[in-house]
């Protein structure tokens, strides 16, 4: 079965191998050495000044960012399930917030940010997804974060980069907190999350807040090469190996270029066979297709062609097909995904199979027509 869901993504053999070693104790010089190396790589990978790691899924890092960086009022962009999650976290801690709510295919409007910040001078933190995974939407986070800082440079800008880190180069110029997780573009099992921190984020942190997710307490321990609580040793060993592969062996430019080619090739291929992209501006992390037959297509893909892609959630249940592009994906696997979609359309009597999606994919990915 080809796992083509936008998280979790397949874990490469080499990562599974290093994680198969016997568990080591976390309060030892051996682990401290590994953890220090991992932190160095992670900070380089995120292009942030500092980083903290948590044993939790990505949502834990989202919670940490709300708890530690919203002291008065949050401004939250909600273009889908993950934006909504920031709202729910803020609510659960009785934080004050202003929500900018959009349809799941629609990006934040800069004028709405302007208006909200004028009307609420007490906003001290801004939360946005880089890629909103529920609809595969790319938010204009560069313009949004630049605008927020121009209006009030004391606002802490938090970006959920869980489906953007390792997908595309992220402009961290106006970012204070960058949220990441293990089971998306980092191709690790679920269970590890992290925050990249700017110098400003560290300054305003003070004593931190919360208990398990106290960023100040964690940062202090992690700078010394240990963790406040038991470290997720196995996952951290996997993370070190993965960052070595991505940074030193593949190279980040190559990783971003490959992902961009897989994503463009997939978009062009599915559009060529008459399918409709869902978001107004698609992210490179995944291709989301809007289709009334989405469920039937997904069923055929799974049962007949061994391809597992994700569907839609909530009001888009049964209406979306979401194809992952995160991680190190072989083009011959990705081209088979669009090929099998074309075969499924034939089976549903919508379109005769002619191998068009596969051809467009390969021409685009391997840049055949340009040569």
Ligand X SMILES: *Cc1c(COP(=O)(O)O)cnc(C)c1O
- The answer to whether residues 289 and 276 touch, using CB atoms and an 8 Å cutoff, is yes
CB of 339 to ligand X, least distance (A): 26
Binding residue count for ligand X, defined by CB under 6 A? 11
Residues 163-202 that bind ligand X (CB under 6 A): 163, 181
Q: What is the side-by-side order of every strand in the sheet holding 286-290?
A: 276-277, 286-290, 320-324
Closest contact distance (angstroms) between CB of 62 and ligand X is 6
- C-beta closer to ligand X: residue 82 or 97: 82
Question: Locate tokens 């893909």: which residue?
Answer: 301
The rounded radius of gyration (Å) of the Cα atoms in the chain is 21
Distance of alpha carbon 107 from alpha carbon 124, whole angstroms = 22
Q: Within 10 A of 183 (CB to CB), how many other CB atoms are there? A: 22
Region for residue 24 given its phi and psi (left: phi exceeds 0; alpha: psi -120 to 50; beta: otherwise):
beta
Residue with CB nearest ligand X? Answer: 58
- d(Cα 172, Cα 145) in Å, to the nearest integer? 10
Q: CA 67, 104, 159: angle at the middle one, nearest 5?
A: 35
Q: How far apart are CA 68 and CA 64, in angstroms?
A: 6
Q: Cβ 250 to ligand X, closest distance in Å?
A: 22
- Minimum distance of ligand X from residue 363's CB (angstroms): 30
Cβ pair 268, 360 in contact under 8 A: yes
58 binds ligand X (CB under 6 A): yes
- Interface pick for ligand X out of 38, 59, 65, 362 (rule CB under 6 A): 59
Report 84-123 residues binding ligand X (CB under 6 A): none
Taking the least distance from each CB to ligand X, the nearer of 163 and 340 is 163
CB of 161 to ligand X, least distance (A): 8
Stretch that binds ligand X, among 57-65, 220-228, 287-295, 313-321 (CB under 6 A): 57-65
As a whole number of angstroms, the distance between CA 3 and CA 51 comes to: 30
Give the SS3 label for residue 308: strand
Q: How far is CA 58 from the centre of its chain?
A: 9
Q: Which CB atom, from 73 or from 138, has the smaller least distance to ligand X?
A: 138
Toward ligand X, which CB reaches closer, 34 or 136?
136
For ligand X, which is the closer residue by CB, 160 or 176? 160
Does position 133 interact with ligand X (CB under 6 A)? The reply is: yes
State which residue, 59 or 284, has the beta carbon closest to ligand X: 59
Cβ distance to ligand X smaller for residue 131 or 155? 131
CB of 93 to ligand X, least distance (A): 17
Question: Which window, 158-166, 219-227, 244-252, 268-276, contacts ligand X (CB under 6 A)?
Answer: 158-166
Q: Rounded distance, CA 88 to CA 208, Å?
A: 21
Which of 50, 84, 124, 160 lies at the binding interface for ligand X (CB under 6 A)?
160
Compute CA distances 258 → 2, 93, 185, 255, 310, whole Å. Answer: 19, 41, 13, 5, 21
| Interface with ligand X, residue 129, by CB under 6 A | yes
Q: CB of residue 11 vs ligand X: minimum separation in angstroms? A: 15
Q: Find the part of the chain contacting ligand X (CB under 6 A) among 26-34, 53-61, 112-120, 236-244.
A: 53-61
Do residues 53 and 43 touch, judged by C-beta distance below 8 A? no
Q: Which residues bind ligand X (CB under 6 A)?
A: 7, 57-59, 82, 129, 133, 160, 162-163, 181
């Amino acid at each position: 079965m080809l796992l083509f869901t936008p998280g979790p993504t397949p874990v490469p053999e080499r990562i599974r191998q290093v994680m198969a070693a016997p568990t080591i104790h976390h309060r030892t010089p051996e682990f401290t050495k590994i953890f220090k190396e991992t932190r160095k790589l992670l900070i380089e990978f995120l292009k942030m000044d500092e980083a903290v790691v948590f044993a939790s899924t990505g949502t834990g890092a989202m919670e940490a960012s709300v708890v530690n960086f919203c002291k008065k009022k949050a401004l939250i962009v909600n273009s889908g399930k993950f934006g909504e999650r920031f709202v729910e976290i803020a609510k659960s801690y009785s934080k004050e917030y202003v929500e900018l709510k959009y349809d799941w295919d629609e990006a934040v409007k800069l004028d709405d940010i302007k208006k909200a910040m004028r009307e609420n001078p007490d906003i001290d933190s801004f939360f946005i997804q880089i890629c909103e995974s529920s609809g595969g939407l790319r938010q204009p986070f560069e313009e949004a974060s630049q605008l927020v800082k121009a209006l009030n440079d004391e606002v802490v800008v938090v970006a959920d980069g869980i489906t953007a880190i390792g997908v595309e180069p992220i402009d961290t110029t106006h970012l204070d907190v960058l949220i990441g997780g293990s089971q998306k573009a980092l191709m690790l099992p679920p269970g590890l999350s992290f925050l990249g921190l700017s110098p400003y984020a560290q300054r305003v942190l003070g004593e931190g807040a919360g208990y398990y997710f106290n960023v100040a307490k964690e940062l202090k321990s992690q700078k010394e090469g240990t963790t406040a609580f038991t470290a997720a040793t196995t996952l951290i060993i996997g993370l070190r190996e993965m960052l070595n592969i991505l940074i030193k062996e593949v190279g980040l430019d190559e990783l971003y270029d490959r992902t961009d080619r897989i994503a463009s090739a997939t978009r062009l291929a599915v559009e060529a066979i008459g399918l409709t992209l869902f978001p107004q501006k698609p992210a490179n992390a995944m291709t989301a297709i809007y289709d009334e037959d989405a469920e039937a297509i997904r069923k055929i893909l799974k049962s007949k062609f061994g391809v597992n892609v994700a569907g839609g959630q909530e009001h888009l249940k049964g209406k979306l097909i979401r194809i992952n592009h995160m991680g190190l994906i072989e083009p011959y696997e990705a081209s088979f995904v669009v090929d099998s979609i074309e075969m499924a359309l034939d089976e549903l009597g919508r379109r005769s199979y002619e191998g068009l999606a596969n051809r467009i994919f390969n021409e685009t990915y391997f840049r055949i027509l340009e040569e």
